[in-house]
Amino acid sequence: MTLDPSWLAEGAAHVWRPYCQMKTAAPPLAVARTEGARLILEDGRDLVDGIASWWTACHGYNHPHIRAAVQRQLEFAPHMMFGGLAHEPAYRLATRLAKALPGDLDHVFFAESGSVSVEIAMKMAIQFWINRGVHGRTRFLAFRGGYHGDTLATMTVCDPEEGMHSLFAGVMPDQVIADLPTDEASEAALDRLLAQRGGEIAAILVEPRVQGAGGMLFHDDETLRRLRRLADVYGVLLIFDEIFVGFGRTGDLFACEGARVVPDIVTLSKSLTGGTLPLSAAIATGKVFNAFWSDDPGAALMHGPTYMGNPLACAAANASLDLFETGAWRADVPRIAQGLAEGLEACRGGPGVADVRVLGAIGVVEFEAPVPVQSFCQKFAEAGAWIRPMGKVVYLTPAFVTSDAEVALLTAAVRSVVLG
């Protein structure tokens, strides 16, 4: 039995924790510091992080190159407003993101969180039609299994049943929720739906390749090509929410690049700063941007989060892009994929296990029913791993620097809990 630090006991009465029934939840683990793929706890234990802190710390924690860039920027200017002022980290980052993304996804609007960047993308899509004098295109077509954030508007485009937001049904306007067009039959169904309701729809919104928080559900690139075709046929915009899959997670820098499908708007966050500071972006093509380019001030995008383009966060993101440019991740992702596939395969056929799947540095054991998060977390921690299941899935999304031995520790922890 270890003593909890006093800040934990005192603060526990005041901190309202995420996704948490505060009355019954086990206390959180107190972390003293982070390093590489590891969380070092106040009680001296050290855990291999199997989920890279909600998919953010792609290069591992405290990467010296990112840390140095943030420290350097701290000397010059930690923050300034973005209205009427410009700074090098944000302007350089926008240039680099535009270059790294396919097609003419060239116009970068910064924000601070993923949900807010999705809200901005939605607002861009609605105003795109208003600015063009087209009325009534105010809804979004989104997909079962999807997750796009926790704010009010993004809740409406999450999976309506599986998601965490069913309590709020009716509070916000309904969107059009469909099945992903993963085969010809579902494509035909979506085609019929768009033929009926296309005129109401501003944009199709999808997480390309992997629906993350909705259950780590994979789909192939042909699905994305079908969406691009249908969006073109019915003249609606296509938004890729790459907040989870962006920055190498599926083996390509961006899913849109790997799938050779250029959406009209893409959203990025999570790994954008290598998990160092909050930052997000909604990035639009010339076609979208040009609908706002006008002598009419009323046609402008009226949005501007206070901390948008924060210099420290942009410095971290530039440093993270430097690390992507070294190319080491291109070998690390398949290496981790192989470790995950080998280590998790034994779970197939285990009690209550419905599926085992791996794509890039994402390993998933899906159960037939939701798993007990609290007791699983505790057992994983006893096995030296930080793994936090989500609904029916136990998943691993480790940092790309996670060693083979650390990946083996993570999969062994999953096997020991799943197979008993």
Ligand X SMILES: *Cc1c(COP(=O)(O)O)cnc(C)c1O
Question: Cβ(356)–Cβ(348) under 8 Å?
Answer: yes
Q: Is 395 a catalytic residue?
A: no
Let me know if 129 is exposed, middle or buried by CB neighbors in 10 A (0-12, 13-18, 19+).
buried
Number of residues that bind ligand X (CB under 6 A): 15
Which residue number places its CB atom closest to ligand X? Answer: 114
Using the rule CB under 6 A, which residue among 47, 201, 213, 323 binds ligand X?
Answer: 213
Burial group, residue 281, by CB count within 10 angstroms (0-12, 13-18, 19+): buried
Catalytic residue among 241, 252, 264, 332: 241
3-state secondary structure of 248: coil
Binding mask 181-210 for ligand X (x = CB under 6 A): --------------------------x---
Closest to ligand X by CB, 190 vs 213, is 213
94 binds ligand X per the rule CB under 6 A: no
Minimum CB distance to ligand X smaller for 118 or for 344: 118
**Beta bridge partner(s), residue 139:** 201
Q: Which is nearer to ligand X, 142 or 213 (CB)?
A: 213
Kindly tell me which of 277 and 288 has the beta carbon lying closer to ligand X: 277
DSSP 313: H
Between residue 138 and residue 157, which ones bind ligand X under the rule CB under 6 A? 147-149
Least Å distance, CB 293 to ligand X, is 28
Closest to ligand X by CB, 269 vs 273, is: 269
Catalytic residue list contains 19: yes
Active-site residue identified among 49, 159, 234, 270: 270
Contact residue for ligand X among 250, 269, 320, 411 (CB under 6 A): 269
For residue 339, state whether it binds ligand X (rule: CB under 6 A): no
Stretch that binds ligand X, among 34-42, 133-141, 237-245, 362-370 (CB under 6 A): 237-245
Residues 96-135 that bind ligand X (CB under 6 A): 113-115, 118
Residue numbers of the site for ligand X (CB under 6 A)? 113-115, 118, 147-149, 207, 212-213, 241, 243-244, 269-270
Residues classed as catalytic: 19, 147, 241, 270
